[in-house]
């Protein structure tokens, strides 16, 4: 009897894996898990080398502007590029011309961002990292200049990733994230003594270049890259019109992290590092699911919307139900195991038991938002596929106002723990906004 049931389960699993969407999700989830395990090992080395000292804080500050620009402008364009490019292909349009438009915009945004960031770094530091010793400022600036060129590689690389995912080359696009991590580990192990506190910045730049080279090689190998004369047509004009609301949404969403970093920078040394370490486990769960679901679902949603909008909504609601239930269970388990996980993962050398207790407490608070945040990210992918970007911009503005208000109120009483509380509350409230809006859009179909 058990053998028959086991064969039945294997049969169903085999049938599911023949579904190209599910197969892609499994591939991306497996590779993402491997990437995140490598990232956890990297963080173990970083924690053992620097603990919660000023080196980690200054590196986080130095990375803040480049990563902010990447998440706001470059990622916004990539997410808009995928559904509109699929529509272009479906309508038999000129893919070379469309790609050229996207590449010109991406390179332009990257170069302008680099120049603006270069000339505004001192003003930025006065706002985000005030009243620090001159040595700390200089350490931030030195690392910032090394990390800044990454913007150009991230920009062009993100377009390569989009093209690979549209062609269902999810294995290549996902495994590219492994190379920056491996490069950083090698820098920490073999070059830490020579590079000192600059090792994280140099490791970031080198890893970015290696990952970019990997993406460029396979994009050329599979002849996905096709550049021609850049001519604006209906689809490219629609993409450009959607860019301001999408950028606004990304800007306001990224500002939440910026605001948190600002408030954490006003606290005692080590607060930024503690917040960063505490977010690793929640981010791990988010990355596994959103990489396996979100990256696969955006092109899939875009195709479904072009065929049957009602079926696309049903597909979305079914995914949300299973993701939320599964992650609620995982969140409860993660909270109970939080102390043990941080102790096993980070507690060694410069990272003390007191550091473990502090990071674990913050981690428990942040874990509470994971099911809600992931559902929001999936809904964002869907709303992007139907070009509902204006709503996301307004919602992001409301989230930012709520986040600033809660930070001011909670940081007075709970310090860095108050920042974590604010983050979780904002993400939970935001999830309710997004789901309510999406369900109303579905009801309008009649």
Band (pLDDT 50/70/90 cuts) for residue 268 is: low
Q: Which of 76, 59, 435 is nearest to 253 (CA)?
A: 76
**pLDDT at 17 > cutoff 50:** no
> Do the beta carbons of residue 265 and residue 10 sit within 8 Å?
no
Give the residue, 76 or 156, on which the prediction is more confident. 156
> Do the beta carbons of residue 346 and residue 43 sit within 8 Å?
yes
Q: Which of 252, 375, 361 is nearest to 321 (CA)?
A: 375
Instruction: Indicate the range of 104-113, 216-225, 256-265, 341-350 predicted with least confidence.
Output: 256-265
Say what the pTM is.
Answer: 0.66
Q: What are phi and psi of 116, to 5 degrees?
A: -65, -45
- In sequence order, which residues have a C-beta less than 8 Å from that of residue 90 and are 6 or more positions away? 306
Q: How many residues does the chain have?
A: 446
Above pLDDT 90, what percent of the chain?
Answer: 15
pLDDT digits (tens, 9 = 90+) for 187-216: 988 988 899 889 999 999 999 999 999 999
């Amino acid at each position: 009897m058990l053998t028959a049931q086991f064969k039945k389960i294997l049969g169903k699993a085999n049938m599911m894996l023949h579904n190209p969407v599910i197969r892609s999700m499994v591939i991306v989830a497996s590779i993402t898990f491997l990437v995140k395990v490598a990232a956890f090992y990297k963080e173990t080395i970083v924690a053992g080398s620097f603990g919660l000292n000023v080196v980690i804080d200054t590196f986080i500050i130095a990375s803040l502007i480049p990563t902010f620009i990447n998440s706001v402008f470059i990622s916004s364009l990539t997410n808009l590029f995928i559904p509109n490019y699929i529509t272009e292909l479906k309508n038999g349009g000129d893919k070379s011309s469309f790609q050229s438009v996207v590449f010109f915009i991406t390179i332009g945004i990257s170069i302008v961002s680099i120049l603006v960031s270069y000339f505004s770094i001192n003003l930025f530091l006065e706002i985000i990292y005030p009243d620090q010793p001159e040595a700390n400022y200089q350490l931030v600036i030195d690392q910032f200049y090394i990390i800044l060129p990454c913007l150009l590689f991230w920009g062009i690389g993100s377009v390569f990733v989009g093209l690979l995912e549209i062609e269902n080359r999810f294995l290549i696009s996902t495994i590219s994230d492994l190379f920056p991590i491996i490069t950083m580990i090698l820098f920490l192990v073999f070059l830490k003594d020579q590079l000192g506190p600059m090792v994280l910045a140099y490791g970031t730049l080198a890893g970015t270049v290696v990952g970019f080279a990997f993406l460029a090689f396979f994009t050329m190998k599979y002849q996905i890259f096709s550049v021609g004369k850049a001519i604006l047509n209906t689809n490219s004009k629609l993409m450009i019109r959607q860019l301001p609301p999408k950028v606004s949404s990304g800007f306001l969403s990224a500002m939440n992290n910026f605001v948190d970093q600002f408030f954490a920078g006003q606290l005692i040394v080590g607060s930024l590092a503690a917040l960063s370490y505490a977010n690793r486990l929640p981010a791990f769960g988010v990355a596994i699911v959103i990489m396996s679901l979100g990256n696969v679902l955006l092109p899939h949603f875009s195709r479904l919307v072009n065929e049957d909008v009602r079926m696309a909504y049903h597909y979305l609601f079914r995914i949300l139900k299973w993701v939320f239930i599964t992650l609620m269970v995982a969140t409860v388990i993660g909270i109970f195991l939080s102390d043990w996980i941080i102790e096993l993962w980070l507690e060694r050398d410069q990272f003390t038991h007191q550091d473990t207790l502090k990071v674990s407490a913050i981690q428990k608070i942040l874990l509470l938002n994971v099911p809600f945040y992931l559902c929001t990210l999936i809904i964002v992918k869907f709303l992007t596929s139907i070009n509902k970007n204006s709503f996301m911009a307004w919602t992001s503005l409301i989230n930012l106002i709520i986040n600033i208000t809660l930070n001011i109120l909670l940081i007075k009483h709970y310090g860095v723990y108050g920042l974590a509380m604010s983050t979780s509350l904002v993400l939970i409230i935001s999830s309710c906004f997004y789901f309510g809006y999406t369900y109303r859009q579905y009801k309008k179909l009649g």
